[in-house]
A and B are shown apart, each in its own frame.
Chain A
Amino acid sequence: MKRKLLSILLLAVFMLSAGALQAQEKKNRYGGRIEWFESLVSEDKGGVEGTVVNRSGRVPVAEAVMELYRGDKLIAKGYSAEDGYFIFDNLPNGSYRLAVSAPGFVGTDVNVSVEGYVKDLIFVSLVSNSMVPDFDESSFVEFDMQDSGYEDSPSLLYGNDVYSNIAGYGFSAIRFKNRGYASESQDVYLSGVRMNDALTGYTPWSLWSGLNEAMRSKETTMGTETYEYGFGGYNGVTNILANPSNVRKDWRFSVLTNSALYRLRLMASYASGELDNGWSYAFNVSARLGGNDWVQGIYYRSFAYYAGVEKKFGDMHRLSLVAFASPGQRGAQNASTQEVYDLVGDNMYNSNWGYQNGKLRNARVRKTHEPVFILKYTANPLDNLEAVATVTYRTGKNGYTALDWYDAQDPRPDYYRYLPSYYYNENDDYGRLDQEKADFAEQAWLNNINSTRHINWDHLYNVNYHNVDDGGIYSRSKYIIEERRTDQNDLNLNASVKWRAKDWVTLTGGINYRWNRTEYYKVVDDLLGGDYYVNIDQFAERDFASTPAMIQNDLDYYFSHNNQAQTLYKGDKYGYDYYANVRNAGIWANASFEKGAFRGYAALEAGYSKFWRDGRVRKGLFAGLKDNGEPYIVTNASGEQVSLTSYDKDGNVITSKGRSDVADFFTYSAKLGASWFFTGGHRVYADVAYLNDAPTFNQSFVSPRTRNTLVPNLTTTKTFSADLNYTYSNNGYDIRVTGFWTKIMDQTDMMSFYDDSQNSFTNFAMTGIDQRHMGIEVGFKIPLFIQNLALQGVLSWGEYIYTSTPYMTQTVDNSADIIIDNQPVTYWRSNPVYKKTVVDGITMYETDANGNYIVEKEQKHYVPSTPQLAIDLGLKYRTNSYWFFEVNGQFFANSYLDMNPLYRTMTAVAGPNNAMTAAAMEEHGRTWFLSESMKDQMGLAPEEIEYMAAQEKFDPAFLLNASIGKSWYIDRKYNFGFSLEVKNILNNRGVKTGGYEQTRLIDSESGERYYRFDPKYFYMCGVNYMLNLYFRF
């Protein structure tokens, strides 16, 4: 026994000696690779050593540049050895900052306290440039500005990539979409779990808005690059590291005010960092309050909380639990037509509000409280193996209020019948001839007579007061506030593993599963002075008034209450109520290779998605079948038997209650990437990906509020994407140039809105939408002749166009009728422009010898609501005393209005006198062939095509912005600072950021054509500021 013990001791001594010798050998081998800038005379024998490794797989990084600072002074500069090792020894005791950087990696800073011995940092991990961490900076003045929460929905998240760092924050005000992609294509992960909304795909920023401190640490990839916790899409991945150990250590308080969104934000946070006992904890709270200077009616009464705790068990296990939410409410803005903006003299006019008893009230208020819980377990059983398992759960309420009214005048102030244009148009063919009435309406708007510009709450109450029942006691509300609820229960399970199989290969992979059940319903939020409301479908009442059962929103209630419609009180559900059920499962794997200057990866993913609707109420219009399989038959007012059971064109029963058919999809995707590093900081890399995505629930039902019917011809979206990139990063220069090409095929879209010509909600389901996005991105930062002064800028120049002719189906909520059945949207992709001459202001279209109109060109149609050319150029200056100045100019162009499909159909273009034959339609759609006889006999005229199908292009815009900041250190312990940014200094108030076309048609007096309704726009606000004050210790 003793011998055994002795052997062990000897072995231990030997190993320790060998280890010490090995370490000494390392040190010896390393000697002489450091350049000292200051001779340090010290009796202390302290220092710092470690090994620089790639965080992905802990592969040693050779030739990493290490700069050692004491205070602001550079003490020494060194390079890591072939095995990544480095050492700075013979340092006097004190605090140091070690800045580590290497080509292809994002630099990092490490704060070191030297206390008389050589402190072994073990590993200094660097993150690949392709995966950009976004964590604490030593000088965080400008960082505060970027991550201030100023914009609630950033257009893309920014990291240390020179392009995304500028474009991410700087372009958010114009609602810039990266590479023109829809925002839902951007994957956002929280602690490694994909959080994009299960029903829409949108990134749910609002879940953690106001928690900027807790959610500050992020990692970001661009384009199609893969990420170590997930496969990603084609528009980058952002992973928010929400663990307590990732929250910036110590106390921090900040006060932010801005004039564009909310008046005040108060925030406090604390993080312990990792304590000696392995525990970490953190919290973050905030309040966002008040209105802004630009849009009346917008206000915030929002709060946020975050609490997290984490425990490290030995070196192998780590467990964390986090809970957070952003409860509160905020008023919303509405788009209006240019006519309204001009009448009010303000492009920031908001029609959603009015005065009640002299106090401002907004009808559209977002009310949310959706707590999220994250339980994460990380294991490192081996140096080269890491496994992570995460569970997230999201629950709570998400509501959005709106006015609802029954058989009463439209309460919206900018309803088209209240505007001057309803009475007069200089084109006689509109049949709007009454200039005098238009003048009266105009004067009412110009002078805001009787509060014309706003919702007249007092009057709505009075209408309700006086709508008294026959008994004279109770009043039935004609106007109420409804709250549309989307209450999610979302459970995500995620597991991933990372294994460095060899020095040159790292394998990652994972599985994920999502269970989501979301309830969509409405509740009565405010009866506005009335006593009750009634649960009937007023839109159905117009057509089926003689059959009361048919207009019931809850037919089962009606039958079980002696044929009485349900009376509603505050808080009651009404209208619609259904579950959206979604189940997703996926598996993915990624192999990344690293050999010398070469890096590459190959990744695969497979997934299965299914969803279905589960109606919780039986609607009279779509009653379905009884339990015994028989149709519902009732007697109407005339004593006739009427069936409440309706059928689609294929003979299938249309039902509102119970489970719909299940839509399910198998998806598969693959990615490849390679990069090559050249000496001197140059890198060339390329990515290519083929992705296959299931449609979302919200795109897949023709009218989910009323029935279980799925959109016909649903299929997966296929995306092929490739990019080629060059980066240069050296001596303060930072440049990236990227070219990209992406084709997105077989998309589905679903639009739904109220159409008073149909007296109902109408739904447009479009399938087969293809897009092509190609362009270049340039980002650069160039140091200038003055130290710390840099010229920086970005260019995003692309062409994002539609490339297919999709098919459209139009339905209405109050009928089983198909208004438009799977009809081609002929002019969606483009429209023909015919050759013409203008003589004395009169346009004459030219024809060839056969009487056919001559196509001059084909006008492409563009992916809307983002500038396809965006430029930013600025100067940035930082002083050693922590002052910070920045000024930049921005130019945006080639932005287009969102199109509605109705205007791009031949039905809308040909007009009421449409007499197109199927053969003529087919030929015209294929070749744009148009003859004089088609114009005269079929109603298809060249001028009508160009008018109806054209897409509006927004004017280009120039913006000037500037910012300044400063921080002070007090006793080297306390830090106080501010940042001030002024945006749109030139007060450009004519910049359109988006909008949409209304989906209604005006019959011409001639009966030969239709005219469009005016589109509605959103504008950017004028000059605005953001001031942030912070204090931390």
Chain B
Amino acid sequence: MKYSIFFAGLAVAGLSLASCDEFPPVKYDDPQEERIYTEEDFAGYTFVSIAELKDMYQGTPVEIDSDIMIAGQVISSDQSGNLYRTMYIQDAAGGIELKLGTRNLYNEYKIGQWVYVNCNGLTLGDYRGMVGLGYRSLEDKYETSYIEVPELVNSHVFKGKLDKPIEPRLLEESQLRNEEFLGTYVRIEDLSYGNQIFVLLYYDPNGDREDYEGNCLFLDDDIHAQYGNCGINTWAMSETGFYKYLDEGFGGAVPDEDKGRFVNGMAYSVSQYFKKGSVDVEVRTSGYARFADTKIDQRILAGAHVNFTGILTRYDEKCQFTLIDLNGVEIVSDNSGVDSVTE
């Protein structure tokens, strides 16, 4: 009996210790800063410039199978929502789009932060004239896909130190189609509103957004171009914005009898045309951007000249410009004669 009680006491003591060990701490210590990578961490890799990497693309997708490494500073942010699942980095020689494929990248990669990309296993490909780095695509219509798998991203993209953000390069009209500036952080000055848009609206009677035959409406085609900006005086349109414009018939471009064809509303990207000298610059904004339904300043619509700061891109042969947020829009000469819109 005595032994029983002794062993019982021993068991209680042992279990007490075991259970205390299984306690989570009452208070947790703050973790350390995560590792910051430097070039020294990639000693066995071949560093190339971003321009050299892009030069490897010769019209067909390139699956990189050697330990090529690029290093660049982050020049974009998806915080405003105008960029989605993608990021641009830039070095001294050029810039490139990284199709990372995850959302809210701005929390992970800060503007100015150095990023090291192990290109081995990634694919260099083109989309409408823009060469970017992603993963190989299984779809014929795309040359690259998003990297997106967390493990793939983590094993190819490494965060370096935070550095001073890159200053935008001021481009002249003659430089807007220059390959070397594509995907870089630039500033274009003295543009004027073109009163023209590019929007693709889907009727979508059967949910098939890929079928362009009779299922969609190009608001810049021969029929609709006469309606100017088709009443779209915001940078883009959210789903709510779309229904508002639909009610208004898109400035007359969509007659009442056609309105019923739009079965499912959605957010739409809008490219607003601006003129830099003789060059049309498409300023593309996403319907999912937080500023999608923000009206374009009346002075701009009325002719005031603007400067844009953002990423220079290309859509086929068109010069395209990607705003990071509305801070990249600056009115420089108010010759419109209208009052500004206060936010």
Contacts and interface: CB of A to CB of B under 8 A. Distances in A.
Interface of A: 255, 257, 262-264, 266, 289-291, 299, 301, 331, 356-357, 359-362, 407-409, 417-418, 423, 433-434, 437, 440-441, 443-444, 449-450, 452, 457-459, 461-463, 465-467, 478, 529, 541-543, 545-546, 637-640, 911-913, 968, 970, 976, 978, 1003, 1007-1008, 1029, 1031
30 contacts: A263-B18, A290-B18, A291-B19, A291-B22, A299-B23, A301-B23, A408-B107, A409-B102, A409-B103, A433-B138, A434-B145, A437-B148, A440-B149, A440-B152, A441-B149, A441-B151, A444-B150, A462-B31, A463-B107, A478-B107, A546-B294, A638-B293, A638-B295, A639-B342, A911-B207, A913-B206, A913-B207, A970-B1, A1008-B207, A1031-B8
10 closest A-B pairs by beta carbon, nearest first, are A290-B19, A1007-B207, A638-B295, A912-B207, A545-B290, A444-B151, A263-B19, A291-B22, A458-B31, A289-B19
Interface string B171-188: 000000000000000000
B8 to A, nearest CB: 5
B11 A331 contact: no
Interface in B93-125: 102-104, 107-108, 110
Interface of B: 1, 4-5, 8, 11-12, 15-16, 18-25, 28-34, 79, 102-104, 107-108, 110, 135, 138, 145, 148-152, 154, 162, 206-208, 234, 238-240, 288, 290-291, 293-295, 341-343
- Scoring A437, A444, A1029 by chain B CB atoms within 10 A of each residue's CB, the highest score goes to A437
Contacts of A970: 1
A417 B152 CA distance: 13
- Scoring B145, B208, B293 by chain A CB atoms within 10 A of each residue's CB, the highest score goes to B293
B19 A262 contact: yes
Given A409-B107, A463-B108, A637-B294, A450 B23 contact: no
A459 B288 CA distance: 27
Contacts of A912: 206-207
Nearest to A1030: B8
Nearest to A407: B104
A517 to B, nearest CB: 32
A976 B79 CA distance: 67
A257 B343 CA distance: 64
Contact of A437 (B28, B135, B206): B135
A359 B149 CA distance: 27
A1003 B207 contact: yes
B15 A264 contact: yes
Given A478-B107, A546-B290, A263 B24 contact: no
A1029 B22 contact: no
B104 A409 contact: yes
Contacts of A1029: 8, 11-12
A331 B1 CA distance: 38
Given A423-B148, A638-B295, 12 more contacts: A255-B11, A262-B19, A266-B16, A290-B21, A359-B24, A359-B25, A467-B107, A529-B30, A543-B240, A546-B290, A1029-B11, A1029-B12
Contacts of B293: 546, 638
Given A433-B138, A440-B152, A1007-B208, A299 B24 contact: yes
A299 B29 CA distance: 19
A976 B9 CA distance: 12
A255 B102 contact: no
- Scoring A441, A459, A461, A462 by chain B CB atoms within 10 A of each residue's CB, the highest score goes to A462
A357 B29 contact: yes
Contacts of B24: 299, 331, 359-362
A968 B1 contact: yes
A418 B103 CA distance: 12
A458 B11 CA distance: 36
Nearest to B16: A264
B290 A356 contact: no
A221 B342 CA distance: 71
Nearest to B102: A409
A461 B31 contact: yes
A493 to B, nearest CB: 40
B31 A434 contact: no
Contacts of B138: 433-434
B294 to A, nearest CB: 5
B304 to A, nearest CB: 16
B28 A356 contact: yes
A637 B291 contact: yes
A360 B18 CA distance: 15
Nearest to A462: B34
A892 to B, nearest CB: 30
B55 to A, nearest CB: 27
Given A409-B104, A452-B150, A543-B240, A356 B19 contact: no
A289 B17 CA distance: 10
A666 to B, nearest CB: 43
Contacts of B295: 637-640
A545 B5 contact: no
A558 to B, nearest CB: 16
A423 B208 contact: no
Nearest to A256: B15
Nearest to B147: A437
A448 B150 CA distance: 12
Contact of A423 (B23, B149, B207): B149
Contacts of B152: 437, 440
Contacts of A266: 12, 16
B30 to A, nearest CB: 5
B207 A290 contact: no
Contacts of A457: 28, 31
A362 B295 CA distance: 45
A266 B290 CA distance: 56
Nearest to A541: B290
Given A458-B32, A529-B31, A545-B291, A257 B104 contact: no
A638 B232 CA distance: 13
A457 B20 CA distance: 22
Contacts of A423: 148-149
Nearest to A431: B139
B154 A450 contact: yes
B32 to A, nearest CB: 7
Contacts of B18: 263-264, 290
A289 B110 CA distance: 44
A10 B152 CA distance: 106
Contacts of A443: 151
B31 A289 contact: no
A450 B5 contact: no
Contacts of A543: 238-240
Nearest to A463: B107
B151 A263 contact: no
A546 B11 contact: no
A541 B80 CA distance: 11
B141 to A, nearest CB: 13
Nearest to A457: B31
A418 B28 CA distance: 27
B49 to A, nearest CB: 27
- Scoring B4, B22, B79 by chain A CB atoms within 10 A of each residue's CB, the highest score goes to B22
